Each structure stands twice: as structure tokens, then as C-alpha cells.
Amino acid sequence: MPGASWICRPCLIRALRPLNRWHTRFQSNAAATSGPISPALLSRARAVAAEHSQLAQKLTNGFDARAAKKLGEITAVVNALKEWEKANESLTELRTLIHDPSTDDELRSLASDDMASSSEHLNQASQALTTSLVPKHPFTNLPCLIEIRPGAGGSEAAIFAGDLLRMYQAYCSRQGLRTALLKYENAEGVPESDSPLSEAVLEVESEGAYGVFRCEAGIHRVQRVPATESKGRTHTSAASVLVLPSFPSGGSAETEDFDDPESDYYVDPKEVRTDIMRARGAGGQHVNTTDSAVRLTHLPTNTVVSIQDTRSQIKNREKAWQLLRSRIAQARREKREEEMVAMRRSVVGVAKMGRGDKVRTYNWGQQRVTDHRSGLTVHDLTDVMEGGHTLEKVMESVRTWLMERDVEALIAGDETDGGK
């Protein structure tokens, strides 16, 4: 092409686009279905875009709070779809230039050079579009409660449970997350934080904490030589970690009303038995002399919460209600998730690991930490236990794993609905 040598690459390629527009349009549908994104997800994105357009039109005729809220929620999907379509069109046009016999050799060379970057752009746009489509977990933006209990392994398990508690406290400190030790009891039931624990509840008060720590729920296993082991043998012990949403005592703009029977964390006071008793176990001079311990029992589910951390019955009652609501809400959410997984498992093998699954192994001898969901192994156990960057690396790998499972479930649900 005369004069092509002095035209900049983008201008040169754009100059030929009108000549190949008919061919681009002919191939666009095929390229859309063969790109690095599920056709089911692409169909869902376009349905969301259509809904977005309808809502926008509705709002031009008058303000509607519910429509405005919905519009804001799905705008990210629409923007991601536009970016994907732009990247997909650009890559399609480059392929057209390369395979069209009438294309100038220099243009074909320029198009070939741009293929790698355009393909990467499409991959990134596909990932962004997929992520935008996954429904946000309803508890993601809430603070959270981290419950830690020793499992199999006797006193070594109790020591390891304490190690996990300090690991999460250190992590929160490094990340600037506010925490409060809601409950700490040792094997004798005494609320002393410097002894091996039987149960601990750490509240992470910062917004979004549930989304950060959701990946930590499950059985954490430790392999090391206990301090009490005289022959140097490695023992295996375990501790369980449960992550619950933490709801403010009076609700907020981000949560539903506690009085709404349809909400996940609604608890009917008539269904809760309250027992007041004296705190148990050896301790300070006031521990056994006041009726300050509070035990709540949710009768329909037999969920029991007991708090005796302070000498104030009122404060212990507030803590107990907070913990009870969180446990009930989490149980309801898990039940719904299990029902969805069971429904979709017939379509694809959607995996879901719950509180009873072994999720991570900490091997002291090899200084190794392995997460059994993401498959990531790191060899800086010290940094992990100090809540450092290596722990964040492991946690991020699990968040990615959870996202992938959510995408599988989303695709499976679309395919199930499409087959009806």
C-alpha cells in the first residue's frame, strides 16, 4: 500500500477496518462463542445489559429508589460487557486482517504483532466480566466473628488453637483491621487469654472482614513435635475455625431489620431460653460470687451460646445475643448453599468445602503450609504464623478458588435453567 510505511500502526490498522467490516460482522458471532468465556455467562451478561437499559429508561420518567438501587448494582456488569465486546471486536478484526488474502503484507505483519497483546486484553476482559457476574455473598461487607476450637490432639490441639488465634490477631494488626476478643476460655472454663484455650471468639470489627476471612473456615491441621514429647516424635493435631457474620446490635443501613422474620438473622425471642448462672471455674474473687454468666438456647435448632467473660450480666447477655444471631444466620445461609450445590451437582461436579473439611496443613518440620482447596504450598511457616504476607498469599489463593467454584455453580445453574 503506497505510503503505508510512514503511517502509525493504530492508524494503519484502523484505516483498513472499513474495508473488512463486512467480514468482521460475519465472524463476530462465532468469535463471541469461541472466546475465553462461557456462552452461558455471556448470555447472562447480555440479559443483565438489557435489564440495565430498561431500568435506565424507567428512571427517565421519574425517580424510583428500588430501580435506582438495582441499576447501581448491575452497572459493573454492563461496563465489563462493553469492555469485553470492545476487546473481542478488536481481536476479531486482527484475525480478519491476518487471514484475508487481500491484506497488505505489512498490515498483516502489524496485525500479527498486535495479536498477543489483544488476546491478553480479551482474557483480562473475560475475567473481569466473569467476576462481575458472580453474585456477591450477602455477608461480604459485614464484620465477622472467628470461632476457634481445638479438635483431635489433646493439649497440643489446644496450644495450636491458641497459635491460630494469635496468627489472626497478628494478621489483623498488620492489615489495620480492628479486633476485639469476644470470648476466651481454657479447658477449665476460665476466661484467661494466656492459657491453652477450649474456645475463642475473635470479632473483627472492620467492614468487609467477612469477605476477607470467609476463606478460613474449616479444619486446620498441625504436624509438629509437641513440647511435651520426650522422644521427638511428630504428632498430628487439629483445630476448627468457623467464620460467622457479625451483626451490629441494632442493625444498620447495610443490614436488614432484626425484626424482619424474612431476614437471615431474625431470631424470635420467644424461641430462646435464657439461663442465668454463676460463672464456673477457678478465677478472681468475683467469678463465683455473682450470677453474671448467660446461656442462650435457641430451641428450634438447639443452638447454645454461653458467655461469662465479664462480671456484668448485661454485657454478657449482649455478647451472647450477638453470637447467637451470627450462628443462626450462618447456619441458614449454609443450608441454602448446600441445597443449591445438591441441585447443581447433577450438571457439573461443583465442590464446596464446609466447616468439617480439612482445609490446611501446617508442617513445622518442613516449614511448610499447604492449602488443600487451592493446592498452594508455601515454605515460610514462620511468616504465616506471624500473620505476614505469606498468609495473605495463601488466603488470596483460596479466595480465588472460592470464586472459581462460584463461577462453576453459576454456569451450572444457567445450564440447568436452560434445560428446563
CA-closest candidate to residue 341, choices 398, 399, 410: 410
Note the pLDDT of residue 22: 32
Note the pLDDT of residue 197: 80
Domains present along the chain, CATH in parentheses: 4-133 (no CATH), 144-341+355-415 (3.30.70.1660)
Note the pLDDT of residue 49: 92
Please, what is the Cα angle at 70 between 67 and 76, to 5 degrees? 135
Note the pLDDT of residue 343: 41
Reported as a single tens digit per residue, the pLDDT across 353-391 is: 445 578 999 999 999 999 999 999 999 999 999 999 999
The answer to whether 355 touches 382, Cβ cutoff 8 Å, is no
**Which parts of the chain sit beneath pLDDT 70?**
1-35, 187-195, 230, 248-263, 265, 280-290, 336-356, 413-420
- Amino acid 418 reads G
Note the pLDDT of residue 283: 46
The answer to whether 200 touches 225, Cβ cutoff 8 Å, is no
Q: How many CB atoms lie within 10 A of CB 49?
A: 18
Note the pLDDT of residue 194: 53
pTM check: above 0.75: no
Task: Please state the φ and ψ torsions of residue 351, each to the nearest 5 degrees.
Answer: -90, 145
Note the pLDDT of residue 342: 57
Note the pLDDT of residue 347: 35
Kindly give the interhelix angle for 389-418 and 313-344, rounded to the nearest 10 degrees: 50
Note the pLDDT of residue 214: 92
Reported as a single tens digit per residue, the pLDDT across 111-147 is: 888 998 999 999 999 888 988 888 777 788 889 999 9
CA distance 281 to 191: 9
